Chain A
Amino acid sequence: MGDLVVLVKAALNPELVRSSDGDRLDLDSVPLKLSDIDRNAVEEAARLKSILGGKLYSITVLTWGPASLREKDLRLAVQEALAKGVDEAIVVADDSAVPGDQVLTANIIVGAIKSLGLKPDIIIAAEESIDEGTGQIPGRVASKLGFPYVSFVRKIDVSDGKIIVERDLEEVVEVVEAPLPAVVSVTQEINDPRPPTLIQIRRASKKPIRTLKLSDLNVEPVRKRAIRELRIIKEERKGVVIEAESVDKAADRLLEILESEGILK
């Protein structure tokens, strides 16, 4: 019986982006949170563990620094995963790995799996993160480990040494069978995760978190891309709230506006 690994990211919170200088994003002031679809990935990993047994590890690579400033956000994100069923969290927080580069992130994840001797049957991840949104890490990890990969999965069935999944594509649903070990990326539709209960949160605080540096994993801090600048998109909308003494009057006012905008004739 093997283990399970879920990839968990502490992502920049898109709802709290701020600029300090014109439209330039002030990266250090944007808090991190557990990336939305990672909740679905953790929930599904915990369900698979209840079927397959074994131990459920999470792996988190800090990609936004500096590490000293991100400690609390990172811990909260990881603790939510622990509360929802992860047994042991592996966290790689190293200033030489920030800001993240996906080539490096994938090397770190694979480095952690190998150097800690994990033998995962299934590595599960979200289809994409809420900050970078590229969805490339699971495919990279699968290639590097030589595992089969099924992406954009909205349903997983397990039966003797293999999985049968539904891949949710633009116009079709593909039913795919893959042998284990395999890498799976999941969509938000796969389940409906509930927030952890108080008891789960309390139990999570006793679970182990193993914090590692790049030097522990023999991973070189290679970089293949550089972020030159991050700008906030300022959308100019009028932001007029129609005030009227009654809903009927408000409706009249809206129709007048649509007429003056040339939409109603």
Chain B
Amino acid sequence: MKILVLGETSRDIGESLSAISSIEGDRVVALFSTSHDEASRASALGYKVYHLNTRNTEAAYKLLVKVYEAESPGLIVSVSTKNPRDVLSRLAGLLDLPLATNVRKISVGDGKIVYERAVLSERSISLEEADPPAILLVMPRLFKPIAGEGQGSIEELEPSEEPAARILEVKRKELGGARIEEADVVVGVGRGFRRREDLRLAFELAELLGGAVGGSRPIAADLKWLPEDAWIGISGKRISPKLYIAVGISGAPQHMAGVSGSKIIVAINKDKSAPIFRYADYGIVADLYEILPILIRKLKERKGLG
């Protein structure tokens, strides 16, 4: 079965190639990017690269239709990020192809494409099958990108017409570089914090534990008390530290799905009926304003700083 891999970066393409490593068949790549450097990095993965040279999703979709017609793949794979989801949902609609996101496992058997994906705010796994040609988007950062093994050719594709929806401006987001996905200890902050200034308690605790601070959707995405790259959850970042301390977080499913890879979860919340306690290894029912200063003092004493 021929497989078409779509991605915005060579890394994402490498992850998709890794997700299908057990499936036999030729591979071709479509890179959705305006970077020629990225195109040569993608070609170093060893397969032919169609370079969709645009950043407009409508233009990329039209170019992808041409690639699809030229290659007739039985399976199209991408990482589940926003622009590929946009482009591939259009292709799925045009050709009535099945499409699934948050895929964690793919195989082929008896002419069917069989896959597992997370559903219901990642509370459940759905085992599904689809008739080829099918489109599967795999969970980001789940598969280790394959290493390059050769040199593929690059075919440049330029949009032939002006898209109806035009990009007027691209604004870079303010990111804090919190790197919560790499930290061994993460302190998560939620609505239990009453004022932005009070987050210093969480930062102080994180520093003493050699960790970083992240936040739930209300704190990072709505109130913007933290930069957006510190947002933990399904639509934010997924983390898997050795220790996750959830402070003043109620434990919404969308948040918990982002921390399910943590080795140990500690919950601090003054509401003893908060759902977070059901998903924690250790819980303390206490007011964060009371317990955090105590924990900070005791940690300082242990380090001889007190």
Q: Are A241 and B128 in contact (CB under 8 A)?
A: no
User: Cβ of B97: which chain A residues have Cβ within 8 Å of it?
Assistant: 103, 224
The 8 Å CB contact of B168, one of A101, A177, A232, A247, is A177
Minimum Cβ distance to chain A for residue B206 (Å): 13
Whole-angstrom distance between the alpha carbons of A111 and B148 in the complex?
46
Interface of A is mostly: mixed
The 8 Å CB contact of B129, one of A141, A176, A226, A248, is A226
Output the residue of A131, A139, A187 with the most chain B CB within 10 A: A139
- Beyond A229-B127, A231-B127, whether A171 also contacts B172 by CB under 8 A is yes
Minimum Cβ distance to chain B for residue A10 (Å): 14
B283 interface contact, C-beta 8 A: yes
Interface code B141-175, partner A: CB below 8 Å = 1, 0 otherwise? 00000000000000000000001111111111101
- Beyond A12-B120, A237-B280, A241-B284, whether A136 also contacts B92 by CB under 8 A is yes
Q: Which residues in B have some Cβ–Cβ distance to A below 8 Å?
A: 57-58, 61, 81-83, 85-86, 88-94, 96-102, 114, 118-131, 134, 163-173, 175, 185, 209, 217, 221-222, 234-235, 242-243, 253, 260, 264-266, 272, 277-287, 290-291, 294-295, 298-299, 302
- Beyond A224-B96, A232-B123, A237-B265, whether A170 also contacts B58 by CB under 8 A is no
* Count of chain A residues with a beta carbon within 8 Å of a chain B beta carbon: 76
- Beyond A17-B123, A136-B92, whether A264 also contacts B302 by CB under 8 A is yes
- Beyond A139-B93, A144-B93, whether A239 also contacts B277 by CB under 8 A is yes
Q: Are A143 and B93 in contact (CB under 8 A)?
A: yes
Minimum Cβ distance to chain A for residue B269 (Å): 11
Interface code A132-152, partner B: CB below 8 Å = 1, 0 otherwise? 111111111111100011111
A195 interface contact, C-beta 8 A: no
- Beyond A135-B89, A138-B89, A255-B298, whether A230 also contacts B130 by CB under 8 A is no
30 sample A-B contacts, Cβ–Cβ < 8 Å, listed by A number? A17-B120, A101-B98, A103-B97, A106-B93, A131-B119, A133-B101, A133-B102, A133-B234, A134-B101, A135-B89, A135-B101, A138-B89, A149-B165, A151-B82, A171-B172, A174-B171, A175-B169, A188-B217, A225-B98, A225-B128, A227-B127, A228-B128, A231-B124, A241-B277, A247-B287, A247-B291, A247-B294, A251-B294, A255-B299, A255-B302
